[in-house]
Structures are given as C-alpha cells and as structure tokens.
Amino acid sequence: MLRTMRDNLKSLSITLWLVIAAFIVSIFVVYGMQSAGPGAGSKTGAAATVNGERISWQEFQQAYRQQVTTLRRIYGDQWNEELIRDLGIRRQVLDGLITSRLLLQEAERYGLTVSREELAAAVMNNPLFAEEGKFSRDRYRGLLEANRLTPERYEESVRQSVLREKLATLIQASAKVSEAEAWESFRAAKEKVRVAYVSLPRSEENRARLEKLQTRASQKGASVEKLLQNSGLKPKKPKSFALGEAVEEVDPSDSRAFHLAILRLKEGDISPVIEGQKSLFLIHLLDREAATREAFENEKATWMQQLLAEKRRWIWASWIENLKGQARIDISSEVT
C-alpha cells in the first residue's frame, strides 16, 4: 500500500507548488485551520532561504497543514499519521514552497507583470465566487471574510499564480512536434503483437528449467512452438495487444519486464529467461501488426496535441530542476 501511496504522492508533487501558492481551490480550508494545534506558527526564523529570500515557519506550517488536509481527503480510511514521515510530506511541502519562490524570482527577472485587468479576470473566473453562473461580489467578500482573508491578501496570491502561469507559457514556448515525430510515436504505441509464452514462479530451480528449454528452442531448425507445447508448461497465447497494454494472466508487477522483453524481439525470436517481480517467462514473438498510415491520419491532430503537451511538461520540469540546481538554497535542519 505504501508503494501505491508513494506513486500517487509523486504525481501530486509535480504540481504541488501550484496548489501551495495559488490557494484557489482549497484556500478556505487552509485559513479555517489557522489554530490547528499548540505551537502552530510559534517558531521564528526561516524554514528555508532561497537566493537570500526567507520562507517563514508560519508560511511553511500553513502550507503543510493544507497538504495534510488534501491527502486525508484523497486517501480516506487508508490515511494514518505515520505516513507523514514515511512519505516525506514535510520535505515535499517545503520543496513546493522553494520552487514557488524560485518561479516568482524568475518571473521578476524576465520582467513579467500582471495587469489589473488580468488580475480581475482571474478572480472573477473563479467558480467559488459564482452564483447562477456569474461572479458575485457579495459571495466573494463573504467567503473571504468568513476565512479571515482580506481581498488584498487573496488577490496577491492570485497575482502570483498568474505570474507563474505566464512564466510556464514562456518557457514551454520552444516545444514543437513534427509530423514525422508524431508518426514514429504513433507507430510505436499502436503496433500490436502476438506472442506465445510459458511462465513459472521465481526460483532457481524454475530458472534452470526455463534456461534448458530456451537453449533447445534456440538451436537451428528447432520448432519453438512444438517445444513449448511439449514442455508440460501449458503455453499461453493471449490475443494481440499493443505494448504497454495489460496482458491476460500476466501479473501487473511483471508487466514492465514482460513488455520490455517483447520490445527487443524480432518476429520468430524466443526471449532469454525474463525475470519479473513474481514470475519467470520465456516469450516467443509470433508476429507484429504494424500501425497503418490511415489510422495515423485519422488521429494525427489529437496525437500531435498529446505529444506537444507531454513535451511541454518535460521542458517545464527539466527547466525547474535546472533552476533549483543553480539556486542558493538553505534549509533548516528542523524541517526534516
């Protein structure tokens, strides 16, 4: 379960800086918890400094409470307080604040600004403040007052969010996808294969058994299909599938090793002994069914948009990692 939760948290952490800084969706939960326990906000000094700018303990504690509240909602009954330590949530939150601060510094360096009109549009387009589909000034002020927020403080958080969006757009502008690149990606993703395979639970005895069978199958003139049929191992022939798709009777924990082995095979080849998390495999590639150009033309526009979005995300993530690597960041030992 912990591995699953770590994987989920990884996907959350990619956009954590947006959640922390924007306060658009869960801002009211956070500020409703300002008195969330003894000692909250009592520390002085800085949780971290970023190129000389301080991240206060109060700022860190508020963001930390927000993230814990969000995760409790996501995981429900699976949540327990030990996961705060096991998942490294304190450090995840601080990393998000550091990234947010770096992005604001870079936005300033690039000379990016937010006009009054842009700020007003961002506030008025927030569905939290809508009544009957339209922005309500009374609802806006009422929600802020109920959560002890001034319009100035809230609008500053929105301004910062818009700045980060502008910076992301600027950095991602270099992303391009050619038709040839899209075709290669489409062909690799849509190609289907047919295989026959045998499998056994992982053990040294079973590995030796499969290795002996593989040696015989690799001999010149050997009939792989007959050898598998006569092995006493009940070879399986799933229906054709694309690489990456779930395969009948292959455990999900073995799927990655199974698919990578097929990727390396030519038609008619038999694999070496493949080791998954639970099982050992011998895989015979029967044939490949190539994706057609006609199918690509039907999906080209959508496919190119998906690739472009993926490339933009990669450019943005790589740029942020490089930015963090060059920054002067000091973190209080009390955070970890």
51-94 pLDDT, tens digit per residue, is 999 999 999 998 898 888 888 888 888 888 888 888 888 899 99
Owning domain of residue 233: 192-289
Nearest to 261, CA basis, from 236, 280, 239, 248: 280
Whether 48 and 81 share a structural domain: yes
What is the separation of C-alpha 140 from the centre of its chain, rounded to a whole number of angstroms? Answer: 33
Answer yes or no: is 148 within a domain: yes
176-190 pLDDT, tens digit per residue, is 999 999 999 998 888
- At 276, which CATH number? 3.10.50
Q: pTM here?
A: 0.69
Note the helical H segments in the chain: 2-14, 16-22, 27-31, 57-75, 82-86, 89-109, 116-124, 137-146, 151-172, 179-190, 204-217, 224-229, 255-263, 293-326
Say whether pLDDT at 29 is over 60. no
Answer yes or no: is 85 within a domain: yes
Whether 34 and 157 share a structural domain: yes
* Domains of the chain: total: 2
Say whether pLDDT at 25 is over 70. no
Answer yes or no: is 113 within a domain: yes
Whether 73 and 167 share a structural domain: yes
Whether 35 and 63 share a structural domain: yes
245-290 pLDDT, tens digit per residue, is 899 889 999 999 999 999 899 999 999 999 999 999 999 999 999 8
Whether 12 and 150 share a structural domain: yes
- DSSP conformational letter for 37: S
Is 254 in contact with 281 (CB distance < 8 Å)? Answer: yes
Whether 133 and 250 share a structural domain: no
287-319 pLDDT, tens digit per residue, is 999 899 999 999 999 999 999 999 999 999 999
- At 130, which CATH number? 1.10.4030.10
Whether 170 and 206 share a structural domain: no
Whether 159 and 45 share a structural domain: yes
Whether 204 and 167 share a structural domain: no
Confidence label for 9 from pLDDT (cuts 50, 70 and 90):
very low
Query: How high is the mean pLDDT of the chain?
Result: 85
Whether 148 and 9 share a structural domain: yes
Nearest to 246, CA basis, from 257, 255, 237, 236: 255
Answer yes or no: is 179 within a domain: no
Percent of the chain with pLDDT over 70: 87
* Amino acid 19: pLDDT: 37
Whether 33 and 100 share a structural domain: yes
139-145's contacts with Cβ under 8 Å and 24+ in sequence apart are 143/28
Say whether pLDDT at 128 is over 50. yes
Whether 215 and 169 share a structural domain: no
* Amino acid 43: pLDDT: 63
